[in-house]
Amino acid sequence: MSENLTIKRMSATPSAFIPLDALRSNAPVYSKLVDISRCIGCKGCEVACKEWNDLKVEPTANFGSYQSHQDLSSNTWLLMRFNEVEIDGNVQWLIKKDACLHCEEPGCLFACPAPGAIVQYTNGIVDFNQDNCIGCQYCVTGCPFDVPRFDSSTKKVSKCNMCIDRVDAGLEPACVKTCPTNAIAWGTKDDMLALADAKIETLRSRGYEQAAVYNPAGVGGTHMMYVVPYGDRLDDYQLPADPTASPAPMTGLRFLKRVGAYVFGLSIVGTLAHFLAFGQQTVDEER
Amino acid sequence: MTQLLNRFTYLERLVHWLVGVTFVILLLTGAAFSYPSLFWLTALVGGGAAARVLHPWIGVVFGVGIVFMLALWIRDMFLDDQDWRWLGAVRDYAAHRHDEVPPAGKYNAGQKVFFWAQGLLAIVFVATGVFLWMPDRFSSSLLSISRLLHYAAALGGGLLLIVHVYLGTVAYPGTARGMIDGKVTRRWAAMHHPRWDEDQSRL
């Protein structure tokens, strides 16, 4: 296995919450950077994604938008969402490259009960292993970006895997490779953050005062980041302003499970203690 | 010869074991989903994916069983004055100080409370279970809360099960037979359920 594919977290194992990267820290950490101001809406990335990952074509119909499909699916891991918004009297496309953001703290992985069905590598890629998936869809619930999609025929969940086979071979993901305007950049996370800063500077000098990078802290940052020209309009981009990988009920559940294990064990010890103290209450049938 | 009383009909025993067996399978597969170290328990029903498919369906059978159980026993399960006194003396009951415990009817107050608690938990199981069964129809926040409640109910139900089985088998010999061939001895009835025993004598 190459350095690119060292496991960092694995679902339903201790490493889900205590990442293994402390053991090896020299592997490169990658990120995509999607500069929405450079996107011309050609959907070449959608095609490249389908081709490289050999995903089935899904017939679609005109529904009054330039968008190709209405939603992601288990066969459509990437969808350019053409959000039409009126800004200063002009219609604008606040396009969102809707696909897995590869969270540093992946809510899907935290929620998954099947050991090894979701794996995060030290390079930042979060990948689903369908062999281990049990089809419970807890990952769909756990994802703050509504990305994983369940296939009701295979009973498995799938999503963008960041072209992990390409990355392993030292190549960029297919969507990055094909983008004709270089709207999607690929490199180490540090380089992409620096590139984002430079892009934001340029956008601000061109009058996009609110230009910002989308790398939300609530999920520990992401390995697909966006540069959004209108950073004050995250809602219009359909980007959650404050996503979290550990919503309160799930934190509560983790705590309760830990307490529950002790309580359950103690209850069995308790019946033994009761038995030793009081024994059986027998019925004297001879009397 | 030991005199026997009929305690549970065939239908009552059938429903009891339907609920009992399904509940244990649900508890074990649920534990597998909750604790990675117990994931191997899914092998009992054919692996993780099979457990995911079967757990809800077994839950349906459990739910139907509970409905029958309610219909069969609810009339006998309302607490009377003697039962409240029984609950006050529950420490004497636990310590096997038999003479200090107010006489119980067909079911003692502990059994009645157990019945209502399991009934209530069953509602939580089924309601939250339906959401978790078909997650694509419900919101993430509802599903997260459902996971929490479903687990909390399972913990409560699991603890009740431990007590139920311990009391019915180890602590009070002669009890379990009532759920096997439906019969208990006269002396057992006189000791554990004196008021019921008297009613039976009058028949």
Q: What pLDDT is stored for residue A25 in this prediction?
A: 62
Instruction: Please state, in angstroms and rounded to a whole number, the distance separating the CA atoms of residues A69 and A46.
Output: 10
Tell me how crowded residue B180 is: count the other CB atoms within 10 A of its CB: 10
DSSP readout, B68-88? HHHHHHGGGGS--HHHHHHHH
In tens, the pLDDT along B89-108 reads 999 999 988 889 999 999 99
Determine if residue B182 is left, alpha or beta; phi over 0 gives left, psi from -120 to 50 gives alpha, anything else beta: left
Q: What digits encode the pLDDT tens for the residues A13-30?
A: 888 888 886 556 677 899
Q: Is there a contact between B144 and A250 if contact means CB atoms under 8 Å apart?
A: yes
Closest CA to B140 of A284, A138, A16, A44: A138
Q: What is the pLDDT of residues B31-66, one digit of tens each?
A: 999 999 999 999 999 999 999 999 999 999 999 999
Q: How far does B197 lie from chain A, in Å, by closest CA?
A: 14
DSSP character for B100?
Answer: G
Beta carbons of A274 and B94 less than 8 Å apart? yes
Determine the Cα–Cα distance for residues A268 and B182; give it in Å rounded to an integer. 27
**pLDDT above 70 (res B160):** yes
Model confidence at A287: pLDDT above 70: no
Chain A environment of B141 (Cβ under 8 Å): 247, 249
Cβ contact A287–B187 (<8 Å): yes
Q: Tens of pLDDT along A205-232?
A: 999 999 999 999 999 999 999 999 999 9
CATH of residue B11: 1.20.950.20
For chain B, what is the domain count?
1
Per DSSP, helices labelled H in A206-284 are: 248-278
Partners of B147 on chain A (C-beta within 8 Å) are 138, 141, 249-250, 253
Does A249 sit within 8 Å of B144, measured CB to CB? yes
Quote the pLDDT of residue B22: 98
What DSSP line would sit under B19-63, residue for residue?
A: HHHHHHHHHHHHHHHH-GGGGGGGGGGTSHHHHHHHHHHHHHHHH
Query: Stretch A108-130: mean pLDDT, rounded?
Result: 95
ipTM of the modeled complex: 0.89
Count of A–B CB contacts within 8 Å? 119
Q: Which of A9, A132, A262, A274 to mutate to test the interface with B (most CBs of B within 10 A)?
A: A274
Q: What is the pTM of this model?
A: 0.91
* pLDDT tens per residue, range B120-129: 999 999 999 9
Q: Do A279 and B96 touch (CB under 8 A)?
A: yes
**Beta-strand pair A184-188/A156-158:** unpaired
Answer for the pair A12, A121: CB distance below 8 angstroms, yes or no.
no
Neighbours of B189 (CB within 10 A): 25
Euclidean distance between CA atoms A32 and B114, whole angstroms: 56
Q: What is the mean pLDDT of chain B?
A: 94
Q: Which residues of A touch B (CB under 8 A)?
A: 12-13, 113-115, 132-138, 140-143, 146, 150, 155, 247, 249-250, 252-253, 256-257, 260-261, 263-264, 267-268, 271, 274-275, 278-285, 287
Query: Are B173 and A250 within 8 A, CB to CB?
Result: no
CB-CB neighbors (< 8 A) of B95 in chain A: 278
Residue B101 belongs to what domain range?
Answer: 4-202
Question: Does position A4 have pLDDT exceeding 90, yes or no?
Answer: no
A167: left (phi over 0), alpha (psi -120 to 50) or beta: alpha
Residue at token pair 């609110």: A210
Under the banding of pLDDT at 50, 70 and 90, the label for residue A1 is very low
